[in-house]
Structure formats: structure tokens, C-alpha cells
Amino acid sequence: MEERDLIAKLKTGDQEAFKLLVTQYQNIVLNTCLGFVPNLHDAEDLVQEVFIEVFRSINKFKAGSKLSTWVYRIAVNKSLELIRSRKRAKRNPFFKSLIGLEDYQDTIGSETFYHPGFELENQERAKVLYNAIDSLAENQRTAFTLHKMEGLSYQEISGIMEVSLSSVESLIFRARRNLKKKLENFYKNDR
Amino acid sequence: MNKNGLNQKKEAEKTLGILDNLKRVESDPLLFEKIQGRLDTGTSDKQATIVPMTLLKYAAAILLFVMNAYLVLPQFSDNSTAAQDDYIQELANDYALTYDTDAGYEFN
């Protein structure tokens, strides 16, 4: 089915079209979410959230842009939302319990590191890497993750992040440089 | 650069290098059914459960505030001033203090 037809059917609420969309994009969305939230259980929950959001807001999708770009954008935003809410909750546990975020966190899973894409012997090293990635600025993190983990081109990333091509280049360059510094510091202090 | 510095660089490169061998993860084969289930039951979002809980917590906080205000505020009202004055006067008498603020301080 052509993408244009698929979108048209999705807009009418066609279940078969939705099923096709889920089948086509589920692995892409899962791996993107895992790139941000390195826990399989959390990532799987996020995947469901992403597709529900796609189903609900398909009418907001603008013709002319690519469906994959839009799906990636939703996956990135949902992942970043979860990361932000967790950081907020860590900063202020009292406020978290008062407004109910605690319950939200409990339902969406734990923060235990488990990324099945890494070899078992690399899980510890991957955890160190993710800790370093976690301290990057959000836009650097997004550009780096989409490029290095999802293998997307600068062009595709610029479409998803809605920034210029040169900005993507700069973000990835700075992300890599900062990561190297952070990792070197980590191994310096680890000795 | 010393040996330790070189080792740190090497370790950092090695850690960054594990991304080159990252494998794709396969999604849950029952994903569509799970999404469908959540859409059908209307509990599609965690937000659906978080909102009533949040409202409940806000309501409890407001109720506590109102109850506190109800208990504390009368103590500052005009009606209790006379009783307060009596109480302070009694205390002042017990400890042989001068309650009258115009009297000034005198040393015996």
C-alpha cells in the first residue's frame, strides 16, 4: 500500500491500516525508544504510547512530510518526556508524591539498565555509556542517539528535529566530543 | 601523555565503539493486540490513571489546608483577644511580671 493511501485510511480510523502501520514501524519505534530509555520493559511501554498517540493524532499529520519522520518525532518526544519526568521526580521526591508522579513512574516501570541490543559482556560498558549520554544536552543527545543507534542520516535527523543540516552536524560533533571527555573523566576517576 | 592518560582515552574509545556492534531488537509479536486492547478499554494512556489520582491528591491537600485554617484562624480573631489577655495577665501575675507595657522597667 502506498504511504498516501495508508495515511488516508488511517485518517478514517481503518483498523487494518493501523495494524499495517504498527507492523511496519514497531521495530523502528522500539529501537528508537531503547536508544533513549535503555530498559526493555520501559521501551515496550513507550512503544504502545507512541502508537496510541499516532492513532489519536493522525489528523494532525501534515500531508507532504514523511510518515516515518512524524513517527520518529513522536517516539523521540515520548522518550524525552519520560526522561524529563524522571529527572524532575529525582530532584523533588516530595512534589512527585504530592502530584501523583510517583504512581506514574511505578506504572511505567523501573530504571534498571537492560538493553538487549548489547552483548552480555558489554552491558556494564553500555551502562557507563548511557550514563554519559544522559548528561548531554537534550538536543545533542537526540541527534547523537538517532545517528549512532538508529543509523539515520543527517538529513533525516534534521527533518525529525526540525533543525538545519549544519545544526545536526554541529550537535553530533559536540555530543561526541563531550561524551569522550565525560568517559575519559569516568575512567580517570574509576582507577 | 602518560600511560594512564592513554589508557583513559583507549577505554573511552572502546566504550563508544560498542555502539558499532549494536544489534536491532525485535518487538513483541503481540504488540498490536496490546495496543488494540488499550484503545478499546479506553485506558490507552498512563495519563488516564494519573489524572484522577492527581485530582484526589489535590483535593486532599486542599481539604487539609481548609481544616487547618478553620482550626488556626479563630485564635487570631477579635473574640479570643479578651481571653488571651486574661491568660497573659494570669501568667504575668504568677511570675511577678509587669504586664502593663506603659509602666516601663524598674529595678528594685
Dist CA B27 CA B89 (whole Å): 79
pLDDT, tens only, A66-79: 999 999 999 999 99
State whether the Cα torsion A160-A89-A101-B54 is positive or negative.
negative
Q: How many residues are recorded in chain B?
A: 108
Residue A63 scores a pLDDT above 70? yes
CB contact under 8 A, A44 and B49: no
Three-state DSSP class for A39? strand
Residue with cell 592513554: B6
Contact B23, A34 (CB under 8 A): no
How near does any CA of chain A get to the CA of B68, in Å? 18
pLDDT, tens only, B54-90: 788 888 999 999 988 888 877 666 566 677 788 888 8
- pLDDT of amino acid B80: 62
- pLDDT of amino acid A69: 95
Residue with cell 482550626: B71
The confidence band for A99, taking pLDDT boundaries of 50, 70 and 90, is low
Cα angle vertex B9, ends B8, B13, to 5°? 115
Residue A110 scores a pLDDT above 60? no
- Which of B11, B24, B27 is opposite residue A47, by nearest beta carbon? B27
CB contact under 8 A, B21 and A126: no
Maximal C-alpha separation, chain A: 60
Please provide the distance, in angstroms rounded to a whole number, between the alpha carbons at the two ends of chain A.
Answer: 57
Q: How many residues are recorded in chain A?
A: 191
pLDDT, tens only, A23-61: 999 999 999 999 999 999 999 999 999 999 999 999 999
